[in-house]
Amino acid sequence: MPKYTRQIVVFMDILGFSSMLPAFEREALENDAIGEEGYHESGTLNKLVEIFNGAVKLVKRANCKAYQFSDNLCITINYINNDTESPDLLVEMLKLVSMLMFEFVKEGYFLRGGIDAGWFLDADDIAVGVPLVVAYRLESEQAVYPRALLSERFIGILEEYSRSRMLSDTGAFLAEYYIANDGKLRYLNPFFYITNFEDKEGKIDYLRTYSVIIKEKLQQFKGDARIEPKYSWLANEFNQFIDRYVTGQAYLELDDDQLDSRFCDHVNKKLMC
């Protein structure tokens, strides 16, 4: 029988997905190429399903469980198993979520979510537990912008591991830079995933991808009082990251001259180099 175990739980969905559904349906109903009555296809939605399937494969490759419904993705992993603690898994989850966010960004979609940790039912086919409720509420009620909020419980566990020196040196280093704080809420800094690209070309392409897609969203939703502020917020976060990136933050290990000569762009009317 499934038992409760202590797990990290992530709940994510696609920003603005519900507003996309009518367009998917229209595209499908207008597509008569198949020639079968009562059967229609939306190429855009099919592509999105492929992206989700790829995300689920990445999650399972990281030894996590994945539960998917519509545009919702729940990810879980035990961080304490048979009384054996794996503190660095909390940091690895931050890295995994950052990777998934980038995979969706490359296709023009932004994720929003919440991350909690606690007692959760260890079952393959059903996701049940307080951490899922907490993560869902973080996403639906507080996140607002395309970001993943971290629960107080998750932060508390991570800080205790840090105080107890149970994190590896790499884990402690990453935990510091993967977490952003706006004074009220703490959330994942997805841009720090850039450190997973070893070559400068890969890092520059990573920054350029984010820059291009954010600009496209700002243009697409210009004047929309409900949606434009969400991407303006993200543009500001990106701008701040770039500011730190090109002004002597050695931990990023990218030569300023290379960045200045290869990556000059505007995001939200701000010069990036």
Residue in this structure with the two tokens 């979510």, named with its chain if needed: 113
Q: Which of 30, 38, 261, 5 is nearest to 128 (CA)?
A: 5
How far apart are alpha carbons 133 and 137 in whole angstroms? 6
Secondary structure class of 88 (helix, strand, coil): helix
Residue 27 makes CB contacts below 8 A (sequence gap 6+) with 42, 43, 44, 45
What's the pLDDT at 37? 63
What's the pLDDT at 147? 97
Contact 64, 96 (CB under 8 A): yes
Residue in this structure with the two tokens 């790499």, named with its chain if needed: 170
How far apart are alpha carbons 5 and 245 in whole angstroms? 39
Low-confidence residues of the chain: pLDDT under 70: 32-38, 245-273
What's the pLDDT at 34? 56
What's the pLDDT at 199? 82
Q: Which of 143, 217, 157 is nearest to 185 (CA)?
A: 143
Listed by start position, the domains of the chain span 4-196
Burial of 115 (0-12, 13-18, 19+ CB in 10 A): buried
CATH architecture of the domain formed by 4-196? 2-Layer Sandwich (3.30)
How far apart are alpha carbons 47 and 108 in whole angstroms? 11
